[in-house]
Structure 1
Amino acid sequence: MIRENEHLVDTYLHSLKTTNHSPRTIENYHCDLKKFINWYEKTQTLNLARANTKTIENYQHYLMTGDILYKKAGFFEKIALIFIQILKFRMGRKKYGVLKAGILPNNALAIGSRKRHLSAIKNFFTFLQEIHADKGGKFKVNPVKSKIHVIKLKDADIEHTKMLGAEDWMKLKEACWRTQERLTVNLLYFGGLRLSEITHLKFSDFNEHKRSVTFIRKGGSRHELFLQNFELIYKDVQFMQRKAPSEYLFANKNGLPVTSRTMSNRIMSLLKKANTSDGLSPHSFRKACATNLYRKTKDLLLVRDYLNHSDAKVTQTYIDKALFQREMFLLGTSEKPS
C-alpha cells in the first residue's frame, strides 16, 4: 500500500476509534479496506480519488470469482524470479511458471460477505468526501452506488442471531450468582447494550433519581437510557462501587475498561457454565431485549429508540417474529410486528 493511501486508511480507522466502534469492527474495516486498496493499486493507474462506479463493479466481480490477481513483474522482480527458478532447476525440480509478481490471492466471497465488504468501502469513501469537502474538491463522488452496495439477500444466505429464550435466561440467572456476573447479564438482557457500550460504562453514568444511565453509544452520540429493571441493576452497581479500583464498572488490573473481546469471552463462558442452548452469543441478549420490549409495549418506534437504531427496519430484524406469531396464534389473533 502506497504511503498516501495508507495515511487515508489510518485516518479513517482513527475516526472509527473515536466514535466508539469496537476493536473487532475496526479490525474488520482494516482488512476489507486493505484488500480493496491492494487490488486498486495493482489494477488501476489513477489516484484513489478517481475511482468510479466501473471500478467498483470490476472489484465486485473480483470478489465473486475468487481469481488470483497478478501484476506484470518489473525488471528487478524478473531477476529475482529467474534466480528462484534456477535454484529450483538445480535442486531437481521442474522449471515452471511465468514471470509474474505482486500475487494477490483471493477466495470467492459469499453474498453476505460481499455486501459487508462493499459497505465498508462505501463508508470509507463517504468519510473521505467529508474531510476533503473544503480541500480542493477531491473525492467529490462516492463510487459505491446504492444499486451496487445493496445486494438482495435470500433468507437462506442470512445467518440469523439466535435469541436468548426464557428457559435459557432462567438457567443463566441461576448460574450467575456473583455480583459482577449478575450485573453483566442484566445490563445485556434488560438494557440491550452492545459490547462496546457495556465495557465503557462508568459508575457516574447511573442516575438514581432519574432511574437512567447515560453513556456513549455506537457512533459517538451520548444517549440517556431509562433502563428496565433499574432498581435491580442499580443495587449491584452500588455494591460493586464500594470496592471498585476504577471509575469503570468492568475494568482490568490497570483500571482501564476491558476490551470487547474480553467481555465477549466472559459472556460465552457464562453461557457455557449455565448449560444454555447451542448457538447463543452476546448479541442474543440484544435480540431478546428487543423482542421482550415489543411484546410488552407493541411500540416498534419505542424499541427502535431504546436500542438506539437509526431505522425501524433494522429494529424489525431484532424481533423474533416466529416466537411472537406463535404467541399470537395461541391467543387467537393475527397481530404482527409492524
Structure 2
Amino acid sequence: MSTYHESLKNKETLRLREIQKELPPFLIEFFRGIAQTTSTKTRLGYAYDLRIFFRYLYEEHKTLGGMEAKDLEVQHLNEISSDDIDCFMEYLSYYVRPDYENPENSTELHNDEKGKSRKLAAVRSMFKFFYKKKKVDANPATIVETPKIHDKQIVRLDVNEMADFLDAVESGEKLTDRQKTFHERTKKRDLAITTLLLGTGMRVSECVGINIKDIDFKNNAIKIVRKGGNEVFLYFGDEVQEALQDYLEERQQAITKEEGDDALFLSSQGKRITVRAVQKMVKKYALGVTIKNISPHKLRSTFGTNLYQETGDIYLVADTLGHADVNTTRKHYAEIEDQRRRKAASHVKLRKD
C-alpha cells in the first residue's frame, strides 16, 4: 500500500479513537471485534452513526434518557426495543446537532432513506455483535424495516456532452474571467484528471491516491487502491495515455511541498490534490456545458454506461468499476438493459414480411 493510503488510514484510525471517547466504553470491544472483517473507513462510519444513535437515546429514550454515554453498560442495550429503533429512524428525518460551547452554532440535519439505512446498518451490526457474544438477550434491530430507497435515474454525459466537456476543460472558454487566470496553469492537469476519470471509471478517491510510479505506459495500465485496500490495475486507451503524458512533462518540473511525495496530481500549492478539489474542478467545467449536475461520480457513471453499451457485458462493467456485487451494477444499468431487451424484440420476426 502506498504512503498516501497508509497516511489516510492512520488519520482515520486516530479519528476513530477520538470518536470512541464519546461513545459507551463497551463499544471498544465491538470495534475491536469487527476490525478483521471491516475497513477502518467502515468502522469510522459506524462510529459516527452510533454517536447519533446514543445521542438520540440521551435525548429521547424513556429509561436511558439523560444518561451520559460514558455511564452506559452493555446490559443497557436490553432496554432498547424495536419500537425505540423505529422512533430513531423517525428522529433522523430532522434533528439538531448541538454545539454546547456555542449553542447558536447548532446545526439542523436531515437524513434521506439512504442516510437512514446506513445508520440502521450500524445499529444492526452493534446488536448482532453483542447478541452473538451472548451479552444481550435479543437483537431488536433485525425486525426494523430498512427504509425503501427509491432508485434515481443515472445522471451521465451523453456522447456530445462528453466531447463538449473535454473541450471546455482544454480551452477554458466557458470559464469566468477570474477562472481563466488560473486555467493556463492547470489545464493539462485538469484535462488529464477528467480524461482519466472518463476513460477508466475509477473513483475520485482512487484517482487522487495515484503516484507517478503507479503508471505503466508499456501496458497502458495504472495501479489503484480500491475500497478495502485491494490493489488492482486498470487499463486505458490512447486518449488517456496522451493526456497523462502531456501532463507528466509538466508534472516532472513541479516542486512538491512534501519531500519525497510521488503524487501524480498536485494542487496549485504543490501538495497532493484532494477529493474535494477534484469535485469542485469537475463542477466548474460542467457548468458551461450542461444543465445536469455533474460530479466525478457522474463521470464514472458515464464510463460505465459507455462500456456496457459497447460490450453488453454486465460482469465486465462490475469488475472494471470495482463493484463487489454484480447486482449493484445491474441495478444501476437496468434502464439500459431494458432498452437492449426492447431492441432484441424488434429483431424477432414471427411471420415473413
Give yes or no for TM over 0.5: yes
Name which of 162, 169, 172 aligns with 2:165.
172
Name which of 245, 267, 284 aligns with 2:298.
284
Residue of structure 1 equivalent to 2:144: 148
Name which of 246, 251, 259 aligns with 1:236.
246
Q: Which runs of 5+ in 1 are unaligned?
A: 70-103
Residue of structure 1 equivalent to 2:23: 5
Amino acid at match of 2:316: L
Instruction: Report the more deviating stretch, 314-323 or 48-57.
Output: 48-57
Q: Structure 1 residue 270: deviation in Å?
A: 1.5
Cα distance in 2 between the residues matched to 1:54 and 1:328: 50
Deviations 1:267-290 (A, max 9, x none): 111212x42232222211111111
Amino acid at match of 2:305: T
1:171-320 equivalences in 2 (<5 Å): 171-177=164-170, 178-229=187-238, 230-246=240-256, 247-252=262-267, 255-272=270-287, 274-319=288-333
Instruction: Kindly indicate whether the alpha-carbon contact (under 8 Å) linking 1:208 and 1:234 is maintained by their aligned counterparts in 2.
Output: no
Cα distance in 1 between the residues matched to 2:73 and 2:302: 47
Amino acid at match of 2:165: L
Q: Structure 1 residue 264: deviation in Å?
A: 0.8
1:69-108 equivalences in 2 (<5 Å): none
**1:258 aligns to what SS in structure 2?**
coil
Q: 1:20 to 1:165 in 2, by over 3 A?
A: farther
Instruction: Report the more deviating stretch, 312-321 or 249-258.
Output: 249-258
**1:51 aligns to what SS in structure 2?**
helix
Q: CA RMSD of the aligned region, Å?
A: 4.3
Q: 1:176 to 1:123 in 2, by over 3 A?
A: farther
Amino acid at match of 1:259: T
Instruction: Report the more deviating stretch, 176-185 or 244-253.
Output: 244-253
Q: 1:167 to 1:330 in 2, by over 3 A?
A: farther
Name which of 53, 71, 76 aligns with 1:36.
53
Cα distance in 2 between the residues matched to 1:141 and 1:201: 47
Cα distance in 2 between the residues matched to 1:68 and 1:209: 54
Q: 1:56 to 1:47 in 2, by over 3 A?
A: farther
TM-score by length of 2: 0.64
Cα distance in 2 between the residues matched to 1:4 and 1:179: 45
**2:224 aligns to what SS in structure 1?**
strand
Q: Structure 1 residue 140: deviation in Å?
A: 8.2
Q: Structure 1 residue 29: deviation in Å?
A: 5.8
Cα distance in 1 between the residues matched to 2:160 and 2:315: 27
Residue of structure 2 equivalent to 1:162: 155
Deviations 1:25-81 (A, max 9, x none): 96x766533211212345355524763695454123232267999xxxxxxxxxxxx
Using CA pairs under 8 Å that are at least 6 residues apart, name the structure with larger relative contact order, 1 or 2: 1
Q: 1:281 to 1:122 in 2, by over 3 A?
A: farther
Name which of 85, 90, 107 aligns with 1:59.
85
**1:38 aligns to what SS in structure 2?**
helix
Q: Structure 1 residue 236: deviation in Å?
A: 3.3
Cα distance in 2 between the residues matched to 1:243 and 1:144: 60
Q: Structure 1 residue 308: deviation in Å?
A: 0.6
**1:215 aligns to what SS in structure 2?**
strand
Q: 1:105 to 1:265 in 2, by over 3 A?
A: closer
**2:23 aligns to what SS in structure 1?**
helix
Cα distance in 2 between the residues matched to 1:142 and 1:173: 56
Cα distance in 1 between the residues matched to 2:123 and 2:237: 37
Cα distance in 1 between the residues matched to 2:322 and 2:294: 22
Name which of 115, 118, 122 aligns with 1:116.
118
The sequence identity of aligned pairs, in percent, is: 20
Residue of structure 1 equivalent to 2:68: none
TM-score by length of 1: 0.66
Q: Structure 1 residue 217: deviation in Å?
A: 1.2
Q: Structure 1 residue 195: deviation in Å?
A: 1.8
Deviations 1:140-165 (A, max 9, x none): 89947565364333xxx344441122
Instruction: Report the more deviating stretch, 181-190 or 245-254.
Output: 245-254
Cα distance in 2 between the residues matched to 1:303 and 1:287: 11
Residue of structure 2 equivalent to 1:96: none
Q: Structure 1 residue 203: deviation in Å?
A: 0.8
Amino acid at match of 1:226: Y
Deviations 1:150-190 (A, max 9, x none): 4333xxx3444411221211111111112111111111111
Q: 1:312 to 1:326 in 2, by over 3 A?
A: closer
Amino acid at match of 2:299: F
Q: Structure 1 residue 331: deviation in Å?
A: 9.6
Cα distance in 2 between the residues matched to 1:67 and 1:285: 30
